[in-house]
């Protein structure tokens, strides 16, 4: 299988037994069978066909900012979008961004081209593709507010869905419910003053630095916001700030974050998340749902 993949991709784009701790913001996780650096939509289609035909497990990796990989690793192949998926271009008031581009880079590109609307996303530590999957948002803004359309791979076909057809919801989109992979997004923005745009971006980033534990490895907000409440407040009200399992703890700065502040393992993080869910349920009746995606084997 590795040799066949190396034939499809350039040899240096197939990294065997790659430790996934190098590719997640939690800085945890064992190896996968191989990390595949895919350069184009044609390469992606070819790789996916081979993996599916052979019954192999695979996972599309963005920035690894919403991901917890087992310490045992992942018994499959991890695909990372590179090459043409890292391209950015301007078409009038529309920014066209490949799925592998970091959101922060799209935001600075918008600012440099006097386009407003994406300021809220400046500090979100993910890629465009990942943002489409989960309708990423912050400070009152969401991807659905600025997305014109998304080009996706659907089986063997390339399709383009409008914003409405993406069925964006809270941390949700059509991608989560069908065989779609985001390839490229068109962001529809408005002309603005670059100084005002820069000031708004700086303000959002300052708020993040002040209120969030950005100094430690984490996956951002660990749990989804339950209807009628806020996960961080529920965790804090349960008296869980500073709660620790091994090298992972509930941030004392923001209870909505589980941080890997003492060289913790994925098992530490996983056990702590389960403990938080249990204690919040006992104290408030709310059933917290993880925002973090787990891959690999967990107890």
Known catalytic residues are: 171, 221, 291
Q: Distance between terminal CA atoms of the chain?
A: 29
DSSP codes of every residue in 188-255:
E-EE--HHHHHHHHHHHHHHHHHHS-TTS-B-SS-BPPPTTS-HHHHHHHTT-TT-EETTEEE-SS-T
Distance CA 251, CA 63 (A): 22
Alpha helix stretches (DSSP H) within 34-140 = 41-53, 103-112, 128-134
Distance CA 268, CA 206 (A): 30
| Residue 151 φ then ψ, to 5° | -90, 130
Contact 153, 180 (CB under 8 A): yes
Tokens of 124: 């979100």
Consecutive H or E run containing 7: helix 2-8
Alpha-carbon distances of 209 from 108, 152, 259, rounded to whole Å = 18, 34, 15
């Amino acid at each position: 299988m590795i040799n066949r993949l190396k034939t499809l991709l350039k040899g240096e784009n197939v990294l065997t037994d790659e430790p996934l701790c190098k590719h997640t913001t939690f800085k945890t996780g064992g190896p996968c069978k191989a990390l595949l650096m895919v350069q184009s939509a044609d390469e992606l289609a070819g790789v996916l066909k081979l993996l599916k035909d052979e019954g192999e497990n695979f996972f599309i990796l963005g920035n690894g900012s919403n991901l917890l990989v087992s310490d045992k690793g992942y018994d499959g192949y991890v695909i990372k979008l590179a090459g043409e998926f890292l391209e950015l271009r301007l078409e009038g008031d529309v920014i066209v961004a490949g799925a592998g581009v970091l959101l922060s880079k799209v935001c600075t590109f918008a600012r440099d081209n006097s386009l407003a609307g994406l300021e809220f996303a400046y500090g979100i530590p993910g890629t465009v593709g990942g943002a489409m999957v989960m309708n990423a948002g912050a400070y009152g803004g969401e991807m659905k507010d600025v997305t014109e359309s998304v080009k996706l791979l659907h089986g063997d076909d390339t399709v383009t869905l409008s914003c409405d057809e993406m069925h964006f919801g809270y941390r949700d989109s059509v991608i989560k419910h069908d065989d779609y992979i985001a390839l490229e997004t068109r962001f529809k923005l408005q002309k603005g003053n670059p100084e005002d745009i820069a000031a708004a971006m700086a303000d959002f980033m300052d708020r993040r630095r002040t209120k969030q534990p950005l100094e430690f490895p984490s996956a951002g907000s660990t749990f989804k916001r339950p209807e009628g409440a806020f996960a961080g407040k529920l965790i804090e009200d349960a008296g869980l700030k500073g709660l620790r399992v091994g090298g992972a703890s509930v941030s004392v700065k923001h209870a909505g974050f589980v941080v890997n502040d003492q060289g913790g393992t994925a098992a530490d993080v996983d056990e702590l998340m389960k403990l938080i869910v249990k204690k919040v349920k006992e104290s408030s009746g709310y059933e917290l749902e993880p925002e973090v995606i787990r891959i690999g084997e967990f107890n």
